[in-house]
Chains A and B, each alone.
Chain A
Amino acid sequence: MAERDDLVIRVAGEAGEGVLSTGQLITLAAARAGYGVLTDSVPPAEIKGGHSLFQIRLAPRRLFSRGDVVDILLAFNREGYDRNIRELRDGGLLLYDSGDFTPPENDGRYQQHALPLTDIARKELQFELGKNVVAVGAISALFGLDPEYIRKLLHQRFARKGDVVLNKNYQALDAGIGYVERNIPERGALQVKPGDFGNEARIVVSGNQAIAMGSLVAGCRVYAGYPITPATDIMEFLAAELPKVGGSVVQAEDEMSALGMAIGSSYAGKKSMTATSGPGVSLMVELMGLSSMAEIPVVVVDAQRAGPSTGMPTRQEQGDLFLAALGGHGEIQRIVLAPVSVADCFTQAINAFNLAEQYQMPVLLMGDTTLGVRTESIPTPDVSAYEIVNRLGITPHEGNGTNGAAGLGVESGYKRYALTESGVSPMSAPGQDGGQYVATGLEHNESGRPRSDAANHQQMTHKRFNKLEAARENAPAAHYYGDPTADVGLVCWGSMWGVVVEAIDVLAQKGIKVAAMAPRMVWPLPDKQLQPFMQSKRVVLVPEMNYTGQLAQLMRARYLRDVVSITDYSGGVFTVARLVQEIEGVHQHAR
């Protein structure tokens, strides 16, 4: 029997009915069995009740996007059916909990079967709570997952609750599997060949969790934040973990305070971070200027959501690049990084801290709604492979060594903002003798004293921009995919990458050659990566999830060359199919 190359399963129903836990159990078991998994979940906009969905895509290989269409839809209730049935592909499979409702017959567009989850759990097992596990059993039997993986997970979860509960869960699992084997003849066509990830050490994490883990590895020891969707997970994660390494998490009263606290902590010697979403970044802009002017390292995560204003908080958009790169009064030196996948979230969190410490300026890390919440099975990071950069400190008594004012004068004392060749100056921390100085957002001389004469401002502006130019020169490596000899090039940023990679694979099968790159550093634009790529292409397309084509505009402005901006601003997904179609169109013209 032919095995499928990938499968998209969507579970939909009332929030709190177990949509999430069903999905998570399947995801983890599938990942442990060696499948590549990529999930997406849409929490309800309402706090209680409301519609919720969880989507899992699995394949015998690494996955880059959530997939365009749904192969199997499991609807827990009528609303789950109503809202999702359109996305079920032709020839797909609808399963519905017949204890709850019966959908109308369809005209043969897809197969449909009752899956009496509630009845099985209630009547057959006398275990109403087991409904999700029945669902897990049913779905796993459909794609051919070895039930041992789920048994192990159930054991991990329920063994503490005693044998009775554990056995009930095992029975529920078997009931789900048995039902499918008896009643769903199509299951043979839905089997997916497992991958060979089974022997590799892997973790299953979300983008936000990967950012939090990366920040721990990078040495983050203070986190201050104010809750906002979809960034809050990072704070919740670190609130549990940072105290274990002697660090602290503070829930601030607003975002200005959150960034102020992070800046204060960094000034006092600890690597510090805050995470927010667009509305929070707007509030932080004044303090980003302070971090830049006072040359204090700090990391700001922007888990972008669809705006403007409070917009569509649970929907996705890449709408904050202008704000991140250009937002602010005066000219703020800052670095903007954009991770492209869950694994890259980990790497880029480390890059963010390294760059902040190396150049003593704010670094923004641009996540987004789907990247933050989606889980992927990724290779367990090898921590020793990452270089960790610490800030340039002062050697003891680099100042004049006296305790007190004598000699700490403008000319003789410690020069916090010394004009070095690189622009980076040694930074003391309170408590270090000889390093006394005043950090300030006012323009200042090398000793940190407020000065506003023209010559000084020019020198200091040079100093700060030198650091930015050095960062541009030494940008972390970009991602590349596709055929480097292609005439058509794609440049994208952040979570758009997954769609781009899969579109290229589809196009390759059609004999269309495309090359793609995603810079990890999106501000300042990394000339050494972007220029040669653009020069080697006849056409450069820039697909983005925003209206204004923000990266495209920044590239046009810097490179004085036109690029084709392709945008999607629906708040939904930029599909692989749409991108393939766009590129095919351009390709026709380019010929």
Chain B
Amino acid sequence: MAVQPLPLEAYKSDEKPTWCPGCGDFGVLNGLYNAMRQKGLQTKDVVVVSGIGCSSRLPFFVASYGFHGVHGRAMPIATGVKVANPNLKVLAMGGDGDAFAIGGGHFVHAARRNLDICYVIMDNNIYGLTKGQTSPTSQVGFVTKTTPKGTPDRPINPLRLAIASGATFVARGFSGKPKELAELIVEGINHNGFAVIDTFSPCPTFNKVNTFKAYREEVADLPKDYDPSDLHRAIEYASSDDPMYLGVLYREEGASFEDHLQAAKIGTEENAPAVIEDLFRRYG
């Protein structure tokens, strides 16, 4: 039976976003709706998983299944969902604090497992929900109430971290370019493996430095002849500050975590009675 493509409205829940006017997360949400429609996803088959933060509220605004968990643990929960049912389309969406500070360990391991999920990090270089503290992607010297003299910590480069950790699809998006972002999300969903899309998503309320205007001046599309399968080039381009490139920086094909899990299965639920009988025999 052919599945019916859904109208854009079908992906919107009737819970209205609580974000501040002008928040970059609106653009990311619109990019997501459009990507889901372009992919023709059925809302019953999609799970949007997040942690805690302004950006992590996103699952409530999507009419699919969702999981809004605890701070930093989006990856473990998303992993569990995929382990239980590899047929589901799992998207993880949340902030840079969620992904790289409290969830930093999980991020690295989700990447090296090569989970078949698409992780859109809504990167505003600040903690929004807790009202404006420095984040792992804030620049050195970034002044907040917790770092009045400017943060001494050097920022994580999410793209380099993702590549180094083994992510097989690494991209950068920008909330100010929702059409391109939607395309990146479609590609990320299509990719069989861990797809990281670090997405500039400004917080106009607390971050007066990394604004839409500033990003517009700093970003550029990758050159036409760019080859995302070239690891060294990917690291080089991911490291560039001027400009900061948008698009798919790195892509590598191969088996995903789910492929390995499926291959490891040597029976089905029907075997359960026989397996238990055999156990009792072996220990008898």
A: residues with CB less than 8 A from B are: 201-205, 209, 213, 216-217, 221-222, 224, 241, 243-248, 250, 252-254, 256-270, 272, 286-287, 289-290, 380-381, 383, 403-406, 408-410, 429-442, 449-450
Contact = CB atoms under 8 A, between A and B. Distances in A.
Contacts of B85: 268-270, 429-431
B280 A380 contact: yes
A252 B11 CA distance: 33
Nearest to A383: B276
Contact of B84 (A259, A268, A286): A268
A270 B81 CA distance: 9
B30 interface: no
B221 to A, nearest CB: 33
Contact of B88 (A204, A224, A248, A430): A430
A377 to B, nearest CB: 10
Contacts of A287: 70, 73
B32 interface: no
Nearest to B267: A244
B47 A406 contact: no
Interface in B14-28: 14-15
7 contacts: A253-B105, A253-B106, A262-B80, A289-B70, A430-B65, A436-B43, A438-B68
A100 B108 CA distance: 51
Given A201-B284, A244-B266, A248-B264, A438 B279 contact: no
A217 B87 CA distance: 25
Interface residues of B, number: 60
Contact of A441 (B47, B66, B70): B70
Interface in B34-57: 42-47, 49, 57
Interface string B65-88: 111111001011111111111011
Contacts of A246: 265, 267-269, 271
B60 A408 contact: no
Given A246-B271, A433-B44, A439-B68, A410 B106 contact: no
B275 A268 contact: no
Contacts of B73: 256-257, 260, 287, 290
Contacts of A409: 14
A431 B80 contact: no
B109 to A, nearest CB: 4
A572 B221 CA distance: 67
A204 B273 CA distance: 19
B65 to A, nearest CB: 4
A216 B275 contact: yes
Contacts of A252: 76, 109
B33 to A, nearest CB: 10
Contact of A269 (B11, B84, B275): B84
Q: Which of B6, B70, B80, B266 has the most CB of A within 10 A?
A: B80
B80 A213 contact: no
Given A260-B75, A268-B84, A268-B85, 10 more contacts: A241-B279, A248-B83, A261-B77, A286-B70, A409-B14, A431-B45, A436-B44, A438-B68, A441-B68, A442-B68
Contact of A430 (B45, B60, B75, B108): B45
Nearest to B3: A403
Given A245-B275, A264-B79, A268-B81, A438 B67 contact: yes
A436 B64 contact: yes
B10 interface: yes
B43 A245 contact: no
A499 B44 CA distance: 54
Nearest to A428: B65
B272 interface: yes
B179 interface: no
A245 B270 CA distance: 7
B158 interface: no
B65 A438 contact: yes
A241 B275 contact: yes
B119 to A, nearest CB: 14
Closest 9 A-B residue pairs measured CB to CB? A264-B80, A260-B76, A404-B10, A405-B63, A438-B66, A268-B84, A261-B80, A264-B77, A265-B84
Q: Which of A268, A290, A409 has the most CB of B within 10 A?
A: A268
B106 A268 contact: no
Contacts of A289: 70
By secondary structure, the B interface counts as helix
A410 B266 CA distance: 43
A268 B47 CA distance: 9
A403 B6 contact: yes
Given A256-B76, A257-B109, A404-B43, A431 B87 contact: yes
A266 B81 CA distance: 8
Contacts of B77: 260-261, 263-264, 267
B13 interface: yes
B106 A257 contact: yes
Contacts of A437: 65-66
Interface of B: 6, 9-15, 42-47, 49, 57, 59-60, 63-70, 73, 75-85, 87-88, 105-106, 108-109, 261, 264-269, 271-273, 275-276, 279-280, 283-284
Q: Which of A250, A287, A383, A405 has the most CB of B within 10 A?
A: A405
A409 B105 CA distance: 36
B43 A403 contact: yes
Nearest to B57: A450
B42 to A, nearest CB: 6
A263 B79 CA distance: 10
Contact of A222 (B80, B105, B109): B80
B76 A264 contact: yes
B10 A405 contact: yes
Contacts of A256: 73, 76, 106
Nearest to A253: B109
A355 B135 CA distance: 41
Nearest to B283: A203
B228 to A, nearest CB: 27
A48 B230 CA distance: 45
Contacts of A383: 273, 276
A380 B284 contact: yes
Contacts of B45: 430-431
A268 B76 contact: no
A408 B81 contact: no
A286 B273 CA distance: 36
A272 B15 contact: no
B176 to A, nearest CB: 26
A570 B159 CA distance: 52
Contacts of B63: 404-405, 408, 436
B155 to A, nearest CB: 23
Contacts of B65: 430, 435-438
A275 B75 CA distance: 20
A155 B12 CA distance: 67
A56 B77 CA distance: 43
B271 A268 contact: no
B89 to A, nearest CB: 9
Contact of B44 (A224, A286, A431): A431
Nearest to A258: B76
Q: Which of A216, A269, A290, A440 has the most CB of B within 10 A?
A: A440
Nearest to B48: A438
A505 B63 CA distance: 63
Q: Which of A266, A438, A440 has the most CB of B within 10 A?
A: A438
A278 to B, nearest CB: 20
Q: Which of A203, A221, A246, A264 has the most CB of B within 10 A?
A: A264
Contact of A266 (B76, B80, B108, B284): B80
A288 to B, nearest CB: 10
